C-alpha cells in the first residue's frame, strides 16, 4: 500500500480461490512491522497568482512522482486527466509535451523498480543451499514449503511479479543445478516471465484441474520433475 | 488561504478560466453547456461555496473537453465510468459539489449501469447529459439516442435501432430530479443546472445538445420544443406524463424544464445509522497527509 501511495499507482494484488477460502492461524505480535516509505504530499506553500494555479498535479520531478493533493484542499485545483496532458492536467496533443510526459512516466517506472529492489520481493524457503530449486507463486506455496523441508529442496517465491524482480530472483537461484517452476495454470505464466529476463527453468510443474495440491501429491510431482 | 494572510482572494472569474484552447467545432452545442455551467458555478462561489469544493467529472467524448475549460477540480474518468467515479468522490468527501458531464454515448451506453445505480441509490451528484444522439468525437457513429435511419460511419445504410427514453428509464430507476434543456436556450440551462446542483439527491439534466457537424437537429428541435408552464414536477402522475410525452424518436412536442422532483433519502446520509460519526473532512485529510509524510 505504501508503495502504491508513494508512486500514485494502482496496485493489483493477485489472488485465487484457494487463498481466499483458506484460513490460517498466526501470532499477530510476531508479524514484523513493514518499513514506512516517505510520501510526496503537496506542501501547500505556493499560492495562485497571475502565472497560473499554484498546485500542479503533474509537476515535473526527478523521480516522476508529483506531489499529491486531493480536491477540497485550500488553494489547489486538482485536475486529474487520463488523456495525454501537461503539468497542470490540461489535455495536450503537441509532440513536445507528449514526449516530456512519456519520459516522466518512464522515470517513475525506473524509480519504482529501484525502490522495490530495496524491499524483499523474493522469499526463499526449504533448504536454501540445495542445488534443486522449485520456483512457485500463489496458492501452492504453502504445500511447497512443506515439501521443500521434507525432501530438502530450495523453494523460491517471488511476491512481486511486475516490475519483475529479476535481480533478486537470479540471486535466490544462484547455485541451482536444476530449476522447476510450479504453477497453477496451463501455460506456465511465471516461467514465461522468467524467460523474458534470461532465467530459463528446466521443467514446469503445471496443475490446472481446479484442485489445490496436498503435500503428498505435490511431493511425488516435485521428485519426478527434479529427478 | 489568501484571506487569512491579508491578501484578497483572486476573483473566481479570473481563475475559472484555464490555459486550454477550445477545440469544439464552431456552432457546437457544448458551448451552451459551458456558457451556462460556468456562471452557475461562479454564482455558487459568490454565494459561499469554496471553489476548491467543486469537482467536475467527465470521461471520453466531446463533452469531456469541458474539463479543460473550467478552472476547478476535474477528474477525467474511463469511458462510461464518470458517474461511478463521481459517486466515489462524493462518498469520500460529502462536502464536495460533484457535477458529472457525460454524452449520451458514454453516459447511456458504456455507463448505463452506473447512471441507473446512482439513480437507484440517490447519490447526491448532478449529471449533465450532452445528448446529441451521435458519437461526435469519433466522427459520427450511431449511439443509444440515435434514431433509426441515421447514416453514419458505423451505419452506412442507416441505423436499424430505436432510441430509448433516458428520462423514463432514470425515473423508473429512482432519480429524484429530472429535467430537460436545450443548447439553444442558455437562460433555461442556467436555471436547470443550478436547480439540479442544489437538489439534494441524484439529479439529471438531459441537455439536447446539438452536434452541428454530425447530426444537426437545430431546425427540428426549434419547431418542437416548448417550455413547461403550470407543470408540477412533484406530482408523480404529471411528472411521468411529461417524461413520456416525447419518446425521443417521434416528431411530437418536446417539453423543456423541470420534469420530475422527488424527495428521497440521500445515499450516504443513512450511514450515520450504522454508528459512523460525522467526519471532519479537513481534519481527517490532515491526519491522512501526516501519516503519509
Model ipTM? 0.86
B273 in any annotated domain: no
pLDDT for position B282 = 72
Tell me which chain A residues have a C-beta less than 8 angstroms from the C-beta of B62: none
Burial of B79 (0-12, 13-18, 19+ CB in 10 A): middle
Q: What is the pLDDT of residue B293?
A: 59
* Axis crossing angle, helix B82-92 with helix B112-121, rounded to the nearest 10: 30
Dump the DSSP string for B199-246.
SSS-EEEEEE--BTTTB--HHHHHHHEEE--S--TTSHHHHHHHHHH-
**C-alpha cell belonging to residue B15:** 481563475
CB–CB contact B53 A71 (8 Å): yes
A88/B289 CB distance under 8 A: no
Packing angle, helices B166-173 and B236-245, rounded to 10: 150
B8 in any annotated domain: no
Instruction: Residue B56: list chain A partners with CB under 8 A.
Output: none
Residues of B in contact with A41 (CB under 8 A): 289, 292-293
Range of the domain at B119: 15-265
Measured between CA atoms, how close is A186 to chain B, in angstroms?
32
Contact between residue A86 and residue A99 where contact means Cβ atoms under 8 Å apart: no
Q: Please check whether residue A44 is in contact with residue A76, taking contact to mean a CB–CB distance below 8 angstroms.
A: yes
Number of domains present in the structure of chain B: 1
What percent of chain A stands above pLDDT 70?
A: 96
The answer to whether A154 and A133 are in contact (CB under 8 A) is yes
* Residue A51: pLDDT over 60: no
Q: Between A31 and A176, whose confidence is greater?
A: A176
Confidence of residue A181 (pLDDT cuts 50, 70, 90): very high
| Residue that is written with C-alpha cell 505480535 in the block | A29
Q: Following DSSP, what letter does each residue of B3-58 receive, concatenated?
A: TTTTPPPPPHHHHS--SPPP-SPTT-THHHHHHHHHHHHHHHHHTT--GGGEEEEE
pLDDT at position B277, please? 63
Pick out chain B residues at pLDDT < 50.
Answer: 1-9
* CA B208 – CA B217 distance, rounded (Å): 9
DSSP state of A125: E
Q: In what order do the strands lie in the sheet with A154-158?
A: A122-126, A154-158, A132-136, A178-183, A203-206
Exposure class string for B275-286: b at 16+ Cβ within 10 A, else e: eeeeeebeeebe
Q: Which residues in chain A are closer than 8 Å to B68, comparing Cβ atoms? A: 90-91
Give the pLDDT of residue A74: 87
Determine, yes or no, domain membership for B172: yes
Closest CA to B56 of B35, B42, B77: B77
Any idea what the CATH number is for the domain that residue B24 is in? 3.40.50.970
> What is the average pLDDT score of chain A?
93
Phi, psi angles (nearest 5°) of residue B191: -65, -45
Neighbour-count burial of A127, counting CB atoms closer than 10 A to its CB (0-12 exposed, 13-18 middle, 19+ buried) = middle
Nearest chain B CA: its distance from A190 CA (Å): 30
**Domain contains B2:** no
B chain contacts of residue A5, beta-carbon cutoff 8 Å = 292
pLDDT score at A22:
83
The answer as to whether B99 is a domain residue is yes
Looking at CA atoms only, how far is residue B200 from chain A in angstroms?
Answer: 20
Q: Given this model, what pLDDT does residue A17 score? A: 86
Longest dimension (CA), chain B: 66
pLDDT of residue B284: 77
Of B20, B51, B95, which has the smallest distance from its Cβ to A91's Cβ?
B20
* Of residues B53, B75, B293, nearest to A80 (C-beta): B75
B271 domain-assigned? no
The string of pLDDT tens digits covering residues A100-157 is: 999 999 999 999 999 999 999 999 999 999 999 999 999 999 999 999 999 999 999 9
| Residue A82 pLDDT level (bands cut at 50, 70, 90) | very high
Question: Coil, helix or strand for A121?
Answer: coil
Q: Which residue of A has its CA nearest to B17?
A: A52
Can you tell me whether residue A181 is helix, strand or coil? strand
Burial A145-174 (b: 16+ CB within 10 A, else e): bbbbeeeebbbbbbebeeebbbebbeebbe
- CB within 8 Å: A53 and B78: no
Amino acid B1: pLDDT:
37
Answer yes or no: is pLDDT of A46 > 70.
no
Beta bridge partners of A135: A156, A181
Q: State the Cα–Cα distance between residues A148 and A146, nearest whole angstrom.
A: 5
- Answer whether residue B228 is part of any domain: yes
In this structure, the strands spanning B254-261 and B177-182 are antiparallel
Please, which residues have CB within 8 angstroms of residue A112's CB and are 6 or more apart in sequence? A3, A7, A9, A163
CB contact under 8 A, B73 and A74: no
pLDDT computed for residue A172 by the predictor: 98
CA distance linking residue B142 with residue B159, whole number of Å:
7
Q: For each of the domains in chain A, give its residue range(s) and CATH number, in order of start.
A: 1-119 (no CATH), 122-226 (3.40.50.920)
Maximum CA extent, chain A: 74
B282 within some domain:
no
CA-based nearest residue to B168, from B245, B102, B105, B109: B245
For position A64, what pLDDT does the model report? 96
Average pLDDT over residues A76-99: 95
Establish, for the pair of chains A and B, how many residue pairs have beta carbons separated by less than 8 Å.
81
Residue A65 neighbours by CB distance under 10 Å: 19
Amino acid at each position: 500500500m505504501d508503495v502504491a501511495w508513494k508512486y500514485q499507482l494502482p496496485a493489483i494484488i493477485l489472488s485465487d480461490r484457494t487463498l481466499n477460502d483458506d484460513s490460517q492461524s498466526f501470532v499477530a505480535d510476531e508479524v514484523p512491522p513493514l518499513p514506512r516509505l516517505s510520501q510526496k504530499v503537496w506542501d501547500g506553500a505556493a499560492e495562485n497568482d497571475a502565472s497560473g494555479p499554484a498546485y500542479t498535479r503533474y509537476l515535473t520531478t526527478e523521480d516522476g512522482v508529483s506531489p499529491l493533493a486531493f480536491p477540497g484542499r485550500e488553494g489547489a485545483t486538482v485536475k486529474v486527466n487520463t488523456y495525454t496532458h501537461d503539468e497542470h492536467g490540461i489535455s495536450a496533443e503537441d509532440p513536445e509535451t507528449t514526449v516530456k510526459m512519456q519520459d516522466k512516466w518512464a522515470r517513475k517506472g525506473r524509480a519504482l523498480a529501484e525502490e522495490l529492489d530495496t524491499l524483499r520481493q523474493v522469499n526463499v524457503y526449504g533448504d536454501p543451499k540445495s542445488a534443486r530449486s522449485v520456483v512457485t507463486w500463489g496458492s501452492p506455496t504453502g504445500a511447497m514449503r512443506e515439501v521443500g523441508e521434507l525432501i530438502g529442496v530450495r523453494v523460491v517465491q517471488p511476491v512481486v511479479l511486475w516490475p519483475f524482480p529479476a535481480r533478486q530472483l537470479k540471486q535466490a537461484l544462484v547455485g541451482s543445478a536444476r530449476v522447476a517452476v510450479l504453477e497453477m495454470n496451463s501455460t506456465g505464466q511465471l516461467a514465461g516471465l522468467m524467460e523474458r529476463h534470461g532465467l530459463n527453468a528446466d521443467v514446469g510443474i503445471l496443475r490446472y484441474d481446479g484442485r489445490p495440491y496436498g503435500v503428498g501429491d505435490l511431493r511425488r510431482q516435485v521428485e519426478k520433475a527434479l529427478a | 488561504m489568501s484571506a487569512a494572510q491579508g491578501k484578497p482572494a483572486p476573483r473566481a472569474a479570473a481563475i475559472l478560466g484555464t490555459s486550454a484552447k477550445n477545440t469544439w467545432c464552431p456552432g457546437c452545442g457544448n458551448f451552451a453547456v459551458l456558457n451556462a455551467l460556468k456562471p452557475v458555478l461562479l454564482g455558487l462561489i459568490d454565494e459561499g461555496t469554496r471553489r476548491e469544493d467543486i469537482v467536475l467529472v467527465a470521461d471520453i467524448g466531446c463533452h469531456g473537453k469541458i474539463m479543460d475549460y473550467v478552472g476547478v477540480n476535474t477528474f477525467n474518468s474511463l469511458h462510461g465510468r464518470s458517474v461511478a467515479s463521481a459517486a466515489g468522490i462524493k462518498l469520500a468527501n460529502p462536502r464536495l459539489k460533484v457535477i458529472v458531464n457525460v454524452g449520451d454515448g458514454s453516459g447511456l451506453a458504456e455507463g448505463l449501469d452506473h447512471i441507473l445505480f446512482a439513480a437507484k441509490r440517490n447519490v447526491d451528484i448532478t449529471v449533465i447529459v450532452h445528448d446529441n444522439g451521435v458519437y461526435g468525437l469519433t466522427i459520427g457513429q450511431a449511439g443509444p439516442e440515435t434514431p433509426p435511419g441515421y447514416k453514419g460511419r458505423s451505419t452506412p445504410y442507416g441505423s436499424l435501432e430505436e432510441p430509448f427514453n433516458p428520462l423514463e428509464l432514470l425515473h423508473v430507476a429512482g432519480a429524484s430530479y429530472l429535467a430537460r434543456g436545450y443548447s439553444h436556450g442558455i437562460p433555461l440551462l442556467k436555471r436547470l443546472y443550478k436547480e439540479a446542483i442544489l437538489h439534494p439527491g441524484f439529479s439529471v439534466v438531459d441537455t439536447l445538445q446539438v452536434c452541428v457537424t454530425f447530426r444537426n437537429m437545430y431546425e427540428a428541435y426549434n419547431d418542437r420544443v416548448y417550455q413547461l408552464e403550470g407543470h408540477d414536477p412533484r406530482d408523480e402522475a404529471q411528472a411521468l406524463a411529461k417524461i413520456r410525452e416525447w419518446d425521443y424518436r417521434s416528431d411530437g412536442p418536446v417539453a423543456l424544464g423541470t420534469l420530475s422532483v422527488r424527495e428521497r433519502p440521500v445515499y450516504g446520509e443513512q450511514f450515520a445509522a450504522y454508528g459512523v460519526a460525522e467526519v471532519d473532512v479537513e481534519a481527517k485529510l490532515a491526519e491522512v497527509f501526516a501519516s503519509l509524510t
